Structure 1
């Protein structure tokens, strides 16, 4: 069960400038992801993937390795994460490093523990038919059945055809959302399908975390930590 971790940290965020190295309790955000990976006994190596020399230096100081800065075509706004991951796997193969699993840890979803990674790896290892395992959180509100869209005639209609927002909440089937904290992919499947998630991906249910897209999200994370409600 040989696994390595990738910490993706592209610069040029439009929402919050340099959010990947924003200081939380005096520590750059991406370092929390690196430390989680390095504290997991099931992860052999941890790599930073970035287009920024500053991010790269920060990550290396926090204990990550680097294969060099991303190619420009993998650093644009339209670049897909899967293409970056496949590129890293191919680069590692050139230096005779091959793994069974890739663990993707996004700096902007920092609420996770090393034991979550180990648990997920064990589950995936015991389910050889599965291509990946992804952390999710239960979605309470708004439930997908309550979502609406506006028709061409200007009327409200169900966003999901055949559903009704008038069904009692207790009667609605459980819905889950990707919480962004942990993705573990079987590398063989990833290279064959070119996907991180497909119809053979397993869920790993976690409590709601914090996804950092805006300055308000950063303030909320700081609030949770300062009040002792969250420990990273």
Structure 2
């Protein structure tokens, strides 16, 4: 079993969002969207440093409300607040900021605030998979797909549906398939600094239930997630 070393949890939250404006501060069941992720990270009790990196003063002010619990509100450089700035760039900046502050995180965990229903159990489970694998391969959270990918195709010229399996097999006759759900990523900090990517050559999966795999990017996503939360 590998050793995770010092852990840095990064929650990236830009102020701008085209499809769902101000999504990171929109109230989901009574509290700002980003709070769901901050609180899940705290509840996981990883003995980690938790950093919210943002360009937005309102988001940073929300993060500062958790400062007494160890959450760091870090204002990222302006060039990392654009539509063209990559997640890897933001994570590398976070690691370097920690190093400049005298810390040396060995393990990087990315928690995106657009996955508000991911909980402490899901976070710990992903870290367990990372550690059990020797802390070498990046771990990603996944959920089972609703329908077999063999039923997914493209529409070509003349409305022709292409690439669909027409064998008539039942859904239960296919092998189980999984998709990334974007909730948790765990990787070596050195991988990001050396390769400029979050992903190792091979990935390991930590499975989450579909009901906690909501990913919010659009108003409909937000509405569906809120409906689910209120029905629980």
TM-score, normalised by the number of residues in structure 2: 0.87
The CA distance in 2 between the partners of 1:188 and 1:120, in whole Å, is 19
The CA distance in 1 between the partners of 2:123 and 2:135, in whole Å, is 19
User: Which of residues 88, 92, 97 in structure 2 aligns to 1:82?
Assistant: 88
Find the residue that maps to 1:124 and give its secondary structure: helix
Report the counterpart of residue 131 of structure 1 in structure 2.
Answer: 137
- Mean Cα deviation higher: 109-118 or 11-20: 109-118
* Structure 1 vs Structure 2 CA RMSD: 2.0
The CA distance in 2 between the partners of 1:25 and 1:154, in whole Å, is 41
Q: Say if 2:119 is the partner of 1:118.
A: no
- 1:164 is displaced (CA, Å) by 2.8
User: Which of residues 208, 212, 217 in structure 1 aligns to 2:216?
Assistant: 212
- 1:155 is displaced (CA, Å) by 4.4
Which structure features the higher share of helix residues?
2
Unaligned runs of 5+ residues in structure 2 are none
Find the residue that maps to 1:65 and give its secondary structure: strand
Report the counterpart of residue 61 of structure 2 in structure 1.
Answer: 57
- 1:152 is displaced (CA, Å) by 6.3
What is the number of equivalent residue pairs in this alignment?
222
Q: Say if 2:151 is the partner of 1:182.
A: no
CA gap of 1:165–1:99, structure 2 versus 1, over 3 A, is farther
- 1:124 is displaced (CA, Å) by 1.1
User: Which of residues 172, 193, 206 in structure 2 aligns to 1:170?
Assistant: 172
TM-score, normalised by the number of residues in structure 1: 0.87
Q: Say if 2:29 is the partner of 1:22.
A: no
Unaligned runs of 5+ residues in structure 1 are none
Contact 1:102/1:184, CA 8 A, preserved across alignment: yes
CA-to-partner distance for each residue in 1:173-202, whole Å, 9 max, x for gaps? 322111111111121223222222243221
- 1:153 is displaced (CA, Å) by 8.1
